[in-house]
Amino acid sequence: MSAKMLTGEEVAKHNNKESCYVIVHGEAYDVTEFLPDHPGGQGIILKYAGKDATDAYDPIHPPGTLEENLPKEKCLGKVDMSTVKQEKKEESEEDKQIAKNKEAIPPLDQCLNLYDFEVVARQVLKGTAWAYYSSGSDDEVTMRENNNAFGRIWFRPRILRDVSTVDYSTSLLGWKSSLPIYITATALGKLGHPEGEKNLTVAAGRENIIQMIPTLASCSFDEIVDARTHEQQTQFYQVYINSNRAVTEKTLKRAEQRGVRALFVTVDAPQLGRREKDMRIKFDDVGSREQVENKDNVDRSQGAARAISSFIDPSLNWDDLHWLRSITRLPIVLKGVQTWEDTVRAAEMGLSGVVLSNHGGRQLDFARSGIEVLAEVVPELKKRGLYSSNFQLFVDGGIRRASDALKAIAMGATAVGIGRPFLYAYSAYGADGVQHAIKILKAEMEMDMRLIGAPTLKDLVPEMVDTRALNMHTSVPSTNAATVYERIGTAADPSGSKL
Amino acid sequence: MSAKMLTGEEVAKHNNKESCYVIVHGEAYDVTEFLPDHPGGQGIILKYAGKDATDAYDPIHPPGTLEENLPKEKCLGKVDMSTVKQEKKEESEEDKQIAKNKEAIPPLDQCLNLYDFEVVARQVLKGTAWAYYSSGSDDEVTMRENNNAFGRIWFRPRILRDVSTVDYSTSLLGWKSSLPIYITATALGKLGHPEGEKNLTVAAGRENIIQMIPTLASCSFDEIVDARTHEQQTQFYQVYINSNRAVTEKTLKRAEQRGVRALFVTVDAPQLGRREKDMRIKFDDVGSREQVENKDNVDRSQGAARAISSFIDPSLNWDDLHWLRSITRLPIVLKGVQTWEDTVRAAEMGLSGVVLSNHGGRQLDFARSGIEVLAEVVPELKKRGLYSSNFQLFVDGGIRRASDALKAIAMGATAVGIGRPFLYAYSAYGADGVQHAIKILKAEMEMDMRLIGAPTLKDLVPEMVDTRALNMHTSVPSTNAATVYERIGTAADPSGSKL
Amino acid sequence: MSAKMLTGEEVAKHNNKESCYVIVHGEAYDVTEFLPDHPGGQGIILKYAGKDATDAYDPIHPPGTLEENLPKEKCLGKVDMSTVKQEKKEESEEDKQIAKNKEAIPPLDQCLNLYDFEVVARQVLKGTAWAYYSSGSDDEVTMRENNNAFGRIWFRPRILRDVSTVDYSTSLLGWKSSLPIYITATALGKLGHPEGEKNLTVAAGRENIIQMIPTLASCSFDEIVDARTHEQQTQFYQVYINSNRAVTEKTLKRAEQRGVRALFVTVDAPQLGRREKDMRIKFDDVGSREQVENKDNVDRSQGAARAISSFIDPSLNWDDLHWLRSITRLPIVLKGVQTWEDTVRAAEMGLSGVVLSNHGGRQLDFARSGIEVLAEVVPELKKRGLYSSNFQLFVDGGIRRASDALKAIAMGATAVGIGRPFLYAYSAYGADGVQHAIKILKAEMEMDMRLIGAPTLKDLVPEMVDTRALNMHTSVPSTNAATVYERIGTAADPSGSKL
Amino acid sequence: MSAKMLTGEEVAKHNNKESCYVIVHGEAYDVTEFLPDHPGGQGIILKYAGKDATDAYDPIHPPGTLEENLPKEKCLGKVDMSTVKQEKKEESEEDKQIAKNKEAIPPLDQCLNLYDFEVVARQVLKGTAWAYYSSGSDDEVTMRENNNAFGRIWFRPRILRDVSTVDYSTSLLGWKSSLPIYITATALGKLGHPEGEKNLTVAAGRENIIQMIPTLASCSFDEIVDARTHEQQTQFYQVYINSNRAVTEKTLKRAEQRGVRALFVTVDAPQLGRREKDMRIKFDDVGSREQVENKDNVDRSQGAARAISSFIDPSLNWDDLHWLRSITRLPIVLKGVQTWEDTVRAAEMGLSGVVLSNHGGRQLDFARSGIEVLAEVVPELKKRGLYSSNFQLFVDGGIRRASDALKAIAMGATAVGIGRPFLYAYSAYGADGVQHAIKILKAEMEMDMRLIGAPTLKDLVPEMVDTRALNMHTSVPSTNAATVYERIGTAADPSGSKL
């Protein structure tokens, strides 16, 4: 054993605000000065002061977080882990309940649709993981609207067409996919399962659909690429442009080298949204009395979202796209476009496409759904002669059925992205769960195309959907107001409480 | 007793996967090789391996199913039933509850409307039967919409017209009916009652309305025809075109011989829909742990629907109608038309009519209701001079009140079909229940026509209904999303669970 | 004591189907032959066979019912009531509960709006009375819509107008009223209170509003007229035209003699609606097992409604109005008009007005609300130069607030009718309740007119209301379908029952 | 001690209707003759007859109420408080529950949005205070609509704009504000917290937003002005024009002297609305049996609202504005404008602006929301060339999120007012709570502007919001009707109670 190695005892002395060491992946770090800057609050770090924090650190910090946020000298070197006192972790009530739920999990075959995975995942995920995955911003109006919007689109199915064979394969930006559906980028995959995003890679490979690799993955980029099941497996890459352009440049070079086929630049997140469900559970996690004393800082704790996003550049604008094109030959697609005006601009710039998306309802609340935006985008592109296979339209948000995808295709999209349902699928069942989810979508796709009378995706024409109600937002969305508002009383029950 | 007869003991030896015999209607069958192909899964067959399966087989297999699916040599001949060990069937908890419910069934007179039969049937039907009858496809959005759509149509009643006598009789394709309502085709009638579809025949005969005989009946075609209460009783025939055209040809010849008056060709079911309620109960029925092992096959068990429909030809198209017309002189009506385009084409081809229908919400979810389609069909037919008594329009789906029928008549339909409510009526009360249901409709019909100011069906004109809201789908349908979505928390109740 | 008088003992012998006497108001009647014709079923009569039926008979039979339905010889003459055995009535559970509720009734001052009376009345009315008063036809869609429709009308209030004094008095057909609100006709007033309709007369007299006397009152016409609190008190008369025109002619003569000021001829009830809530409670009241045996007669028991309406002439038509005008000089208003076409015709005939009404949602379900019809009527009248003070428009149905009345006035009505709320008010608090209800309306009226910026009713102009949403029936009404429809299951809860 | 001083014993003798003294702030008053005129009813005064009423009097009577309503001679002079018997106040159940709730109050940091304050305040406010603050008029339809209306407006966010710095500061009537949000005037601030409106002043000062001082404050005008945290702190003044113009004139002079910067003249309250929740709790507070005897007076008790508003002049009209302008040089804004017609008139008169408002849903029910009125106002102003920075538009009602404010700004408003949420914030947490609420709004504002792509308020243009659904009132508002309406029964459950 090297003389340089720290011992657990040495580290353990630095267990307070004045001097705070933590061990992560066998290395000790002095985080004393970093404490007040920790986006998740200092309370959560102090819980591990002088101890091994690896298990808590791992799922919510993408690889490299520590290295990027701490000066080099704060890394104190390797620790002799045999000298570190093993905490005997007491199983929490939540852990026990989850263990029990896991035993009662329904067999995978009983998951008949994508909603089922959500219900099952709810029972086996830790509260913090569930909150991070399932939350939307503010009143979660947009999050729900994403799904609701599809409910305002109805089919006009044709009959007596030969649908003995049905073909739902297509190509995205020139790359084959067995479905007009791809796995979109979502962050912090290890919150749901130790294999994290690799579950998605494996299932996508087996079923021949395309995965979009996220910048904020829990697994490293290389781990995800290495998980490919075969050489031809196509992967796209979602990128947040870093304030430090050099970092982005390096990242993209690596992506190209590893055979990534397209870049999806996120443009709807100059700042991450306030996801209150996620924020509330943080208070539960850390002793919250302590925090109330820091009255001057509203945003001290914003949950996992804030913890991982501080590097995103809020100054990113159209001019930066010239730079971006100068450093990569990959096709560029803007992810998070929300108006026809910006779509037209992207097409005029010669980009390869846009994803009409509101970030799964996690950014601006009361942003419209991608599918609604699609309805305004297509006519404007056609009017300008910009609607062509060289500029593809993608939609994500709220897609839970193959029929949702088919609505988008009929309206003019090339493919749709699905995020959360696949996270839930592997949270509950690993890669097999994701694969089963994809198989369900294929089974639905085959049935739906037969019943619509469209043997191939090309046969899905605008006349097959009735979208007249799509932009009629006459229903009042359910906000917190519905929760706080009181029932009206009557003479027989003045307080309204009896009813 | 013939020497050829098998004994129960001999059959009983073949009680496993390696060699599996079952007895149905006194004959033994070797189903060993058929096991993996059984649409309902092999588990349910193995439950009866070596035993008499007649009671389980009968209600969910239309007559002839075994004969059509097994090679002749697999029929091993008659069994001496006196040598078959009588299983003493233990009454299940469900059976006990149903028996109890049957004793508490409300007197028939207390059923005041068609909804009442549904409520009562729910209490006396086995779970599997209820699931098969009551389920719709996917999120059951279309199933509910069928009823909801009528709720967006309002009356404009006229006053001071002599309505002392009211006449709601009419004729369908030239055949008299006491009501502008017929009994539409539904499958597996014995799930609800041992007499199956014959209950419908008897009640239709007594009340002089027309029954459409289903291809997938539990009773044989001849049994249903033989059940007529009088010679002039009119019956139509619903037909699925078989991949084997010879089978269809033979069937239609027989139908003509037995005096069937019209053919209703189902065109909305090239593949049967995924009815998840039906599928879920299958998992309950069979040991589901076993099934989870067959991960590679999403569709192994799709409930009763899949079990009975494998012969339907998905390649059926407009050209086949020429063949169909060449083999029968009966008037042909397309059942399951869902756009004005296809209706116009059917009229131009000289067919006798169409049923605007989405198969009771059991096929494509988010298909529009027949009544909504009617509103777009009539103007297009009129524009082309195709709206005439030679081409009749029928509507089914969601009709529960005479007022629903009257809305359709005023909008231009000749008659409407009712399915499930009559199934529920005989499930609870036999043929008398169906008759009572028809009487209720007549009582409602008389009242409504008086109150609308229309003494005959001809007096029902388009101006009597306000359909402006019919195609305004602004309400968000209730999908599984409503079930999985969580309440929002507050500072006083972070998880939202207290409310 | 006269020798002709019957004794209780003699009557008591006729206590069965073969010979059935009943005593009503001290006279014996032989109803043996009438039994099968009793609209309420024979069961309820047989309960009183050989006994004094006065208490049960009185509240649900308008004066003269027995006399009009039985041949003279069936009246057997007076009974010596001292010889009639006093039944010791056992107090039912319901009676006990009602007595208890009556003690806990909130002080009248705590009734702050018209809804309050409904809540209180619900607690003190017998189930049968509540069912008769509160029920609507079929799914009660129109009944609810009557109120909902006002919810789609919004105000455009004006500011900075001198509203120090507010005047909401008006005149109806030339007769002064302190409010643009009248008490409309409703039947069977004694179900709610022993003084029946006289409660309304007294309150109307005290507060100077106009009462419309119903044909089907529990009190006799003369009793209601005699109850006037002062000589100038105005009353109108609602009339059902009898199949026997001579009866109507006699009735109207009497009405003129007693100073009635106008006739309101009901035109929306050639047959009474099926009010299922009312019908269901009848089954509870009478032994229902007995009834199920009479399978052939769907309509045997239709609750109180059918019991009182058999004389109404369903052949009544526009021509009959000439006869009506020939026998009376009173102004004639049609009650129950539901389209602009019929309104225009009434105006062209020179009648004095119409009530746009659907009979409180008790007749044709899915008839539109009177207030919605008003919106289509006024422009059509104006277009034809028929909108003038000589032809007045009234609206009833769903009015619960002074603001509802003001909406109607602004849209062009002269006044609105209120029915059920006043019934509920006296059911709970007698005439004082009705008076309090009127005072509430006056207080609301004063406040609302101030806040709208309209010191007099003439200042209420169409621009003060936004009615654009009034005819947009996009919400799905709540029918029985909502009750029978099942929740969707999930993999974690296949039957959907856990949620 | 002066000989003139009254003793507690002397006062205590006048403890009944015949002679009733009360002590307020150490002075005795003879209120015997005033008893029947007390807007809150005499019961509540008699409870304190002969006693010190200061604690009960203070929070619901603005300073000077007693002096203005009693003749001078009824003030009997100072009382030697040492001789007044100390009532040992028994803590009520409510007091105990509130004390308990206060201990469990969530730390301020856990309040993540403005709704949270409402939830917390509900737990720590007395029932009477809650009822006064939270109530709206009639069915509270407008109160809810104020919030719902924002739910019908959706964003059209732009991407790829440099939003690294965001500036949400603005100026109102020429005065700087750190937010386009001001604290609007609300009455009776001490009901929620002993410091009353001063909490608002302090927080507004700290965060540099503008407070509008209410006429009906619990604190005196001077107390509120004195509470300013710095000299440049801007305050506006909300004024009810008094029937006695001299009082108003004096008030405004004082306001000018103390540096108030603008006058907001309330024009939507010639009479205060009936807030039934507030009225119902009054009955609970005072013995209500007594009141029922005063049948002739519907409006005897109208809660806190009526108690404080009797001086407001209902004759106020446009002409009075000339007088108003003659007595002050302050800019005048009309508060409570609800149509474009009145807005145009105000602009043509040269006033400085209007607040489009319905008084928080506390006045005319079914008045439209301010934000809906804004949508009709802006085009009409533009059409007439009246839309300019010299005439500013403000909106209040229902604003709970920064996004609500941004919607209004994009549509053409200068700023929006927030009332109740700030009351709730200080009721629960004092001035710190209000400051935290403002900080939350700033955090939301920064995030939203980034996500909308608008770095300054000027970048918020009409194209950024989709308001097409704003005036589509197709949803039926939830009135008392929803409470009183009954579920429909079925044959299996005739009363509908089992469901």
User: Does the pLDDT of residue C385 top 70, yes or no?
Assistant: yes
Q: How far is D261 from chain A (nearest CA, A)?
A: 29
Q: Which of C284-298, C300-314, C324-338, D465-479 has the lowest mean pLDDT?
A: C284-298
User: Does the pLDDT of residue A292 top 90, yes or no?
Assistant: no
What confidence tens digit (pLDDT) does each residue in A443-496 have? 999 999 999 999 999 999 999 999 999 999 988 777 777 766 666 677 877 776
How many Å apart are CA D11 and CA D84, to the nearest integer? 9
What confidence tens digit (pLDDT) does each residue in B110-156 have? 999 999 999 999 999 999 899 999 999 999 999 999 999 999 999 99
In b/e form, how buried is each residue of B378-401, taking b as 16+ CB within 10 angstroms?
bebbeeeebbeeebbbbbbbbbbb
**Which string of DSSP letters, residue by residue, matches B428-453?**
HHHHHHHHHHHHHHHHHHHHHHHHHT
Token code pair at residue B350: 């000289």
Q: Give the nearest chain D residue to C400 (CA atoms).
A: D481
Q: Among C359, C424, C429, C459, which one carries the catalytic annotation? A: C359
Question: Is the separation of the CB atoms in D393 and D378 below 8 Å?
Answer: yes
pLDDT at res. D57: 87
Q: Give the nearest chain D residue to A281 (CA atoms).
A: D110
How many Å apart are CA D360 and CA D140, to the nearest integer? 10
Among D479, D488, A486, D144, residue whose Cα is nearest residue C116: D479
Q: Among B61, B359, B404, B429, which one carries the catalytic annotation? A: B359
Chain B (91-130) residues lying within 8 Å, Cβ to Cβ, of chain C: 106-110, 112-113, 115, 118-119, 122, 127
Contacts of C134 in chain D (CB under 8 A): 486
Q: Which of B158-162, C165-169, D279-283, D361-365 has the lowest mean pLDDT?
A: D279-283
pLDDT at res. B185: 97
Chain D (358-387) residues lying within 8 Å, Cβ to Cβ, of chain C: 363-368
Length of chain D: 499
Residue of B380, B472, B476, B493 for testing the chain A interface, max A β-carbons within 10 Å: B476
Contacts of D163 in chain A (CB under 8 A): 270-271, 314-315
Mean pLDDT score of chain B? 90
What confidence tens digit (pLDDT) does each residue in A29-76 have? 999 988 887 877 788 889 899 999 998 888 878 787 888 778 889 999
Kindly determine whether residue A270 and residue D451, on different chains, have CB atoms separated by under 8 Å: yes
Residue A289: count other Cβ atoms within 10 Å of its Cβ: 11
- Specify the pTM: 0.93
User: Does the pLDDT of residue B417 top 80, yes or no?
Assistant: yes
pLDDT at res. A68: 77
User: Does the pLDDT of residue A300 top 50, yes or no?
Assistant: no
Question: Is the separation of the CB atoms in A377 and A369 below 8 Å?
Answer: no
Mean pLDDT score of chain C? 90
pLDDT (tens digit, 0 to 9) for every residue of chain D, 499 residues total?
Answer: 455 789 999 999 999 999 999 999 999 999 998 888 787 778 888 989 999 999 888 887 878 788 877 888 999 999 999 999 887 778 899 999 999 999 999 999 999 999 999 999 999 999 989 999 999 999 999 999 999 999 999 999 999 999 999 999 999 999 999 999 999 999 999 999 999 999 999 999 999 999 999 999 999 999 999 999 999 999 999 999 998 899 899 999 999 999 999 999 999 999 989 999 888 886 544 433 333 333 333 343 445 555 556 678 999 999 999 999 999 999 999 999 999 999 999 999 999 999 999 999 999 999 999 999 999 999 999 999 999 999 999 999 999 999 999 999 999 999 999 999 999 999 999 999 999 999 999 999 999 999 999 999 999 999 999 999 999 998 877 777 776 666 667 787 777 665 4
| Candidate from A291, A338, A483 with C-beta closest to D156 | A338
Token code pair at residue D169: 């500061």
User: Does the pLDDT of residue C146 top 90, yes or no?
Assistant: yes
Could you give the percent of chain B with pLDDT greater than 90?
74
pLDDT at res. B324: 97
Q: What are phi and psi of A350, to 5 degrees?
A: 85, 20
CB neighbour list of residue D117: distance below 8 Å, 6 or more residues apart: D111, D421, D424, D425, D427, D428, D429, D433, D437
Question: Quick one: how far is CA D305 from the chain centroid?
Answer: 11
Token code pair at residue B354: 């169409």
Question: Is the separation of the CB atoms in C356 and C343 below 8 Å?
Answer: yes
Instruction: Mark out the alpha helices in A414-467 (DSSP H runs).
Output: 420-452
Cα–Cα distances (Å) from D191 to B283, C190, D186, D304, D398, in that order, read 60, 48, 11, 10, 21
How many Å apart are CA A10 and CA A6, to the nearest integer? 7
* Helix (H) / strand (E) containing C80: strand C75-80
Q: How far is B449 from chain A (nearest CA, A)?
A: 33
CB neighbour list of residue D232: distance below 8 Å, 6 or more residues apart: none
* Helix (H) / strand (E) containing B396: strand B392-396
Helix (H, G, I), strand (E, B) or coil at B456: strand
Question: Is the separation of the CB atoms in B392 and B352 below 8 Å?
Answer: yes
* ipTM reported for the complex, 2 dp: 0.91
Instruction: Mark out the alpha helices in A208-319 (DSSP H runs).
Output: 221-226, 245-257, 276-285, 288-292, 303-307
pLDDT at res. B286: 41
What confidence tens digit (pLDDT) does each residue in A217-274 have? 999 999 999 999 999 999 999 999 998 899 899 999 999 999 999 999 999 999 989 9
Whether C268 is catalytic is yes
User: Does the pLDDT of residue C56 top 50, yes or no?
Assistant: yes
Helix axes B420-452, B402-411, angle to 10 degrees: 70
Q: Is C388 on the interface with A (CB under 8 A)?
A: no
Higher pLDDT, B58 or C19: C19
Contacts of D401 in chain A (CB under 8 A): 138-139, 365
Q: Is A286 on the interface with D (CB under 8 A)?
A: no
pLDDT at res. B283: 55
Whether C485 is catalytic is no
Give me the sheet containing C75-80, strands edge to edge. Answer: C6-7, C75-80, C27-30, C21-24
What confidence tens digit (pLDDT) does each residue in B422-468 have? 999 999 999 999 999 999 999 999 999 999 999 999 999 999 999 99
Token code pair at residue C421: 């709320």
pLDDT at res. A67: 81
Kindly determine whether residue A112 and residue C491, on different chains, have CB atoms separated by under 8 Å: yes
Per-residue pLDDT band for B362 (boundaries 50, 70, 90) equals: very high
| Candidate from A110, A474, A493 with C-beta closest to C491 | A110
Residue of D451, D460, D463, D464 for testing the chain A interface, max A β-carbons within 10 Å: D451
Most confident of the following: A112-121, A135-144, D331-340: D331-340
pLDDT at res. C291: 34
Per-residue pLDDT band for A112 (boundaries 50, 70, 90) equals: very high
Contacts of D474 in chain B (CB under 8 A): 474
Question: Is the separation of the CB atoms in D373 and C154 below 8 Å?
Answer: no
Mean pLDDT of C242-271: 95
What confidence tens digit (pLDDT) does each residue in A371-398 have? 999 999 999 999 999 999 999 999 999 9
Chain A (319-358) residues lying within 8 Å, Cβ to Cβ, of chain D: 320-321, 334, 336-339, 341-342
Domains of chain D: 8-83 (3.10.120.10), 128-294+301-466 (3.20.20.70)
Token code pair at residue A347: 């097409």
Among A221, A219, A213, A226, residue whose Cα is nearest residue A189: A219
pLDDT at res. C286: 41
Q: Map tokens 């199934």 to a residue.
A: B423
Q: Tell me, what amino acid is at D220? A: S
Kindly determine whether residue C147 and residue D365, on different chains, have CB atoms separated by under 8 Å: no
How many Å apart are CA D180 and CA D126, to the nearest integer? 32
Dmax over Cα atoms in chain D, in whole Å?
Answer: 83
How many Å apart are CA A156 and CA A465, to the nearest integer? 5
Contacts of C471 in chain B (CB under 8 A): 466, 468
